[in-house]
Each structure stands twice: as structure tokens, then as C-alpha cells.
Amino acid sequence: MSTLVIVESPTKARTIRNYLPRDYRVEASMGHVRDLPQSATEIPANVKGEKWAQLGVNVDADFEPLYVVPKDKKKVVTQLKDALKEADELILATDEDREGESISWHLYQLLKPKVPTKRMVFHEITSDAIKKALKNCRNIDEQLVRAQETRRILDRLVGYTLSPLLWKKIAWGLSAGRVQSVAVRVLVSRERQRRAFRQGSYWDLKATLTPPDSLKGESFMSQLVTLGGTRLANGGDFDPATGKIPPDSKVILLNQEQAEALKERLTGKTWKVTDIEERPVTRKPAPPFTTSTLQQESNRKLRLSARDTMRIAQNLYEQGYITYMRTDSVHLSEQAIAAARDCVEKLYGKNYLSPQPKQYTTKSKGAQEAHEAIRPAGSTFRTPQETGLSGREFQVYDLIWKRTVASQMADSRQTQIIVQLLVEDAGFRSSGKRIDFPGFLRAYVEGSDDPEAALEDQEVILPNLKVGDSPNCSDLEAIGHETQPPARYTEATLVKTLESEGIGRPSTYASIIGTIIDKGYAQLVSNALIPTFTAFAVTELLEKHFPDVVDPSFTSKMEQTLDDIATGEAAWLPYLKTFYLGDKGLETLVKEQENQIDANVARTVELENLDAKVRIGKYGAYIEKENGDDVVTASIPKDLTPADLDPQKVETLLRQKTVGPEQVGRHPETGEPIYVLIGPYGPYVQLGDKTEENPKPKQASLPKGVTPENVTLEQAVGLLSLPRTLGVHPATGAQIQANLGRFGPYVVHNQSGEKDYRSLKAGDDILTISLERALELLSEPKKGRSTTNSKSKAALRELGSHPEDSEPVNIYNGPYGPYIKHGKTNARIPEGVSVDDVTLASALEWLASKASTAKSTRKTTSKSRSSNSKSTTKSSSTTAKKNNRTKNSERASP
């Protein structure tokens, strides 16, 4: 008897194969094998003429989805069907969450097995887990499938109904999404707060004190907190909307002059310790990781995006290193607790072990998915060093291992020490912290890579002072402070906010954040998600005309309903009918609102305190202002954020259009004027005027730190002279140049067309860097950059040469994940397939599919589409109705 086992990916198949008997054959489905059509080319000819075909859901036939097998999955399906012919039993062993359940159901519908079929689920890929799962197979969970299908249909209805409206009213290519649009609104709301923020300033004193002569100890810091018994103002006392302290606040606000005068008055006076308070504090370890907390901590510690974190975690799971990584649960099995406690005892000693095993309770809204937290796999935990992992995989495993082990360690015991001091009528405070027993902090400190260093950083040791002691003041300094606007969201804080609000599910956050960036709704700058002007325009339109779509509470209730469908507590069809077709349903609202939305208004971003309009155009955001009888426009630089666009910047951008660009001076050799201008990509200098004889005058971007206000003539001349030839490489005889590029200043070694680049470092000047310094930089190992320009970086894998032109076929890591490249053709790697599993044959197939799709798309005309629709409308209507009746009857499960 032979058994066919189907999983999602070749890596998972390879790992599972090690734990199954020899007569078990394991194959991979490469992720989903069926889905709603992604493009018009995927819509079957028999339904192309139907009005619902583009939507992919027949809303008039009980929301029957139109499932198709994507072109790149047809060969996989054929191979699985061939494998099934030789099997006496079929086991569907896809992941245990809703997506995995759905993949198993689609496989069952496509393969139509005539042999006994079972559903096998497991939380980790270990020998014990697989053997246990084989003995406890079940049927496909219809409720989970229906919940996933309802979620998929709902997302399609929102996206495909609202996105075309955004194309018409704002700009082509935009998209709306059930969770995506709410997440964008969260970013926009924070940017609005930053825009409305008004800065306030305050001063205080900081003293450096040393213990009395009779005591030993290091110097310590003390902060001014009261004056004449009244509390001193701090940042929290300011109204962010005015930048001032409310009149009824009972605090003292010092300006610079007052602070300096107080400093002079207190200098040389006697200090006295008036009170000492010691308070014991106990800190408990954080629970093991869920999908959300892993994404947050990975972003904070490793600077990994949510998408990269999930991709790496997926690889670790499929290779058998960790348990399933899509989970809302913080629960640990008894086996896992025993393994973690064993690690603690062996590595740290019994005194670091918690007295009793610690179990954690899930608190997030609508917790579901897998039944255990993310942890190292197995009944014993391999230390990170024992895994043989490297790079990012090692770092993520190390994070998971430490967090899991720390969860079973003893609490940290600390003592907070507050010392109050008085000098004349000025009250000062010194704060200290003593770690009496580090406990779990010995293994894991949130936000720190090195627990030992973090422990040292956390301790603030004060001298052994007593009330009445008189420490010596070695330095007294007046310090000015400015209040800060609310911080922008990072991926970590956005994920935390979405989860706390019950918006979406953690397993989808990676793709949601990726889409927000891909669609131009946010830029990721220094780990901060900065919404664009386009995000403002889309959010304003949705808030005004479709408020429920971007209402967090509405979206949260929707999420709860989807969870209720999964448990059978809610009916899916009535919910979809009400949401889409009801009197206040989405389809009805779009029809009502479309004619009421003025495209000119929709493309205009409302920003207070500006006498110019910000509009969204074909090439991005721009400023528009009336100038007499004319209208003046100017592009907004891509690095200028909505919160930072103020009247002064508007005036600067428009002035170069009305008055002309500002002249820095004249070139010392040619006598031509040199201008400083601001374009879509930021400020730059230009040599000479743009004329018919000189349509493309020489231009050069200003480097980081140089602004249009402070650029000098000497700098401008130097920038316009780039690239600078520094000399030749002593080993190759090839030229070495210095230049300024998209990612900043760099040096390049050009040898026979092969260019080797290195970025300049802090302290290096593009205009003065020497050949010796350039050679030093070029001798250092090259650091990779996440960019789509594969020519300037090393391939993840080299698959071989293309049989047609002998050009290389390689895998590169791009900003949206790994992809295959041959010449100018890029092809994505299908979901569920890891980089290590890609072969040259499969790569050639995906490249060919991508090339043929692009070719057919270019050839397709609206005329041919129209004729196809007319010829098939009548027959397809009848066929569709027949399909609708039969598809529901196909829901029989094994």
C-alpha cells in the first residue's frame, strides 16, 4: 500500500519525508493551487462576458467564487494528479491554520481522489509530532474553509469595488483594502497629529554631584524638579496644539535667562540630602512569541520588516527548527515547558529557574489559529549554536530560543532608589536602580541583542547616601529642551496598534505593510513608516464617502464576525449579502457616491495653514497656487513629508517658478550662472540656463547635510565637476572615480566594464576624498543593499545559463522578496517555494510564463476583448448558472 502526502513547499516535503515510512511519497503543492482570477487573462472564456467576471465573485448567485488554476500552477496540479494515480491513500498535510485548511480543500476539489483521503495537522515538524499526527488524522474542517473563503471574498469585494473608484477620482494603480485602508488611515492620523503639533521649549538645571568626602563612590547626576516648593514644567505639561502650557497649570516654566540666573545663584551653595526612598520592584518575563510579537521584536532588534521576518520564520518551520509561526497563542505545551526549564537549569543554574512552571494566557482580541506559541521545535531545544544556522535565520532562531527559555526563568528583582536633595529653595532628584537578582534578564532583554551589556546599562548605582549628607557639586549646567511631536509608526508599533485594535490578523500584517509601501502609500525611512500625500488623498476620500471602510471599530467587528463564521456561530451568506448588497451595502454606496465625488476635489489634499493647494497628479504630488491670472505649479520633492510642508517651503518651491531659481554665483572658468533648485527628488545645482541650444544643462544633487540655504559656490562647482577621477588602481591599472548617486556619495573601481562600488562613510567628503582613502574603502568587504538593481549586488543563487542565449539565470533578493532574473525579465518565486528548492528547470518555466503573459497583455486590445465578450455572453450565462448549481454540491469533504 502506498500513500501520497501533499504539503505546501518542497522544503517542508523534504523535512517530513525523513519522518515517514518508505512507502509514503511526499509532494508539494507550491502554496495555493486555486484562487480568484488575478487578471483578465485568467478569466475562463465561458464567463468572460458576465458582468461579475472581473470581480471573480458572482454576487447574484449566492456570492459563488470563480476559482481558477493560475498558469504557473497547472503543471504542479498535473504532477499531483499523476502521483495520485499510483497511490492507495491520500493525506493532505498542509498547515493547520485557515489558509492551510483552504489549500487542502482546494486540492481535494481539484484532484477528486477516489482513494481514502485524510487531513493531517501538526504544529512542528519533528519525528514525534509527525508520528502523532499520523495516528490522529481528521476530515477537512468545513467551517474553517468557509471562514477563509468568506474572508477572501470579502477582501475581493472591497478591493475590486473601491479600487476602480480611486483610479477614476485620484490616480491610476491605487488600491483599497479591507485592512490595508484602515492601516493607511492609522499612519495618516499620526501624520496629521505631527502637522498640528506646535513645539514648546523649557529649561532646567542638571547637576553633577560627588559623594561627601567621608564616602566613597562615583559621581552621579541630579535634575532640578521643584523651585520654591512648586514643580518645574516638563514636556508633558505642554499643549501639543499650541506649544504652550495651559494657564491653569500650577508649574514653573523657566526660560534660558531665568535658568542661567538660577544657576549663578545656586553655584557654591550647600547641598543637603532631604529624603531617600528605596522601593523593591519585580519584573516578570514576557510570554513566548506570537506572530505579532515576533514581528515587533524582530523589527526592533534586527531591523527586519514584517515580511522578511515571516519569510525567515517560514523557512525555519519548514526545516524543523521552530513550531508553526502563524499563531495568536502564548500557550506552551508541557513538553515545551519541560524543554525550556531543562535549558535554564543546564545553562544558568537552578537558582535562575522559576519556582513553578509558567503558563501564559492569550489576551489579544479574537485569538485563533495555531494552538501553541512560536518556540524551538522538539522535546529538547537546540541552542542557536547547535543548529548550524547562519545569518538572519540564526538571528531569528536565537530570538525565539531566548524568548522561550526566558519565559521559564525566575523573575528579576530590582530596587528603585530616589534621592531628594535641596540647595536653597531648589529641589533636585537623583534616580538609581540596583539589580538585586537579574533572573530572566540574564538570558533575554527586550530591545537588546546583548543581555549582559543590557544589564549593565540598566543599573544606575548611587553612592550610599544618608539623609543630612552634603554631596559636592562639581558642575551645574542650564539645559534647554524642546517638546517633540508624536513619533511616527515603525512596522513594530503599527503591528502592535493593529493587533490591539483587533484590525486584521497578525498572519496578514506582513503582506498588508508590504502592500502599503508597494502602492506608494508610505515610505520606509530609517525604520519609520511615513505616509505620502497620496495616502492623505485616499484616506480623505474614504473618510468622507465610505467612513465604515476606514473605521477601526467597524473593521474590528467585521473581524469578529469572520471568527464567528469559523466557529459556526455566524452564517456567512447573510453577512455577505448585508455587507455588499444591503440598503447600506458597499455596492449601493459606491453607486450613490460615485457621481457625488468631484475628481478635482478628490485629488486635492486639505492641509491647514497653507494658501496653496496640494494635488495628486500623474507623476506624484505637486503644489498649485494662483498667481494673478495664471496658475503656478511645482512638484513636491519625494522626501518632503506632509507634516513638514509649511508655508516657507511652499514659497521656496513656487519662487523658482515665478521669480526664477536662486543664483549661487558664476562658474569661475566658464562664467555661466550656477543655480540652486528643488525638484521631485530634492535640491540640486544647475550650471547655466535651459535653452533650445542647451536643453539638458549639467545638474548635480546636493549631498546629505547640504541645504539650498547653505550651499556655497565652491561646493556647487565641485558637485558639478563630478565624477572626480582620483587615479588608477595599483593592482589593475583601472580608473577609480568618486561620484554622487541615488543612495549618496560613493567611489567606484571600473575594471573592464565590471564596476565595484563602495559608499562613503561619515567624515568622508565627496569633493576632497583621496585615492588612498578610496583604495581603503574598496578593500573592505562589500555590504549588500536591498534594491531591485541586481547588477550591483551578488546573487542569492546562480542557477545556470539560459539554453537560448547562454545568459545567466540567477535569484536575487529584492525589496519585495527573492525573485528570478534573466536579462530584463524578472519572475516571482511562487508562494511556498523557498530559494533553496528552485531548480533551473522550474525557473525557466516561470520566466517563460512571465514573458508570455507580458506579451499577450501587450497584444490584447479593447476591440478584441469586446468581440470575445459578445460572442460568449449568451452561452456563458447558461454555463455559469449550471456551474453555480454544481459547485456548492462539490463541498463534500473526506
Cα atoms in the Cβ-side hemisphere of radius 13 Å centred on 326: 20
Distance CA 167, CA 169 (A): 6
- The answer to whether residues 817 and 311 touch, using CB atoms and an 8 Å cutoff, is yes
Distance CA 727, CA 637 (A): 35
Type of residue at 481: H
- The answer to whether residues 245 and 441 touch, using CB atoms and an 8 Å cutoff, is no
Q: Cell for 596?
A: 457625488
Distance CA 759, CA 765 (A): 11
Strands 662-666 and 673-679: antiparallel
Distance CA 264, CA 424 (A): 12
Distances (CA, A) of 856 to 42, 45, 72: 12, 15, 15
List, in order, residues 6 or more apart from 194 with CB less than 8 Å away: 485, 486, 488, 643
Distances (CA, A) of 6 to 13, 17, 20, 337: 8, 11, 13, 31
Q: Nearest-CA neighbor of 284 among 440, 146, 150, 427?
A: 440
- The answer to whether residues 199 and 441 touch, using CB atoms and an 8 Å cutoff, is no
Tracing cell 548550524 back to the chain, one arrives at: 388
Other CB atoms within 10 A of residue 333 CB: 17
Q: Cell for 343?
A: 535549558
Distance CA 487, CA 499 (A): 19
Catalytic residue among 317, 324, 622, 675: 324
Distance CA 168, CA 495 (A): 31
CA 718 to chain centroid? 38
What does the DSSP assignment read for 12-44? HHHHHHTTS-TTEEEEE--S-S-BS-SSGGGS-
Distances (CA, A) of 41 to 45, 46, 102, 429, 470: 9, 13, 24, 71, 84
Q: How long, in residues, is the chain?
A: 894
Q: How far apart are the first and last CA of the chain?
A: 19
Distance CA 333, CA 341 (A): 12
Q: Cell for 535?
A: 495616502
Q: Is 156 helix (H, G, I), strand (E, B) or coil?
A: helix
Type of residue at 815: P
Distance CA 773, CA 775 (A): 5
Whether residue 812 lies in the annotated active site: no
Buried b (16+ CB within 10 A) or exposed e, 821-840: bbeebebebbbbbbbebbee
- The answer to whether residues 811 and 796 touch, using CB atoms and an 8 Å cutoff, is yes
Distances (CA, A) of 772 to 472, 604, 618, 759, 775: 51, 52, 46, 15, 5
- The answer to whether residues 844 and 809 touch, using CB atoms and an 8 Å cutoff, is yes
Q: Nearest-CA neighbor of 636 among 569, 681, 703?
A: 681
The set of catalytic residues is 324
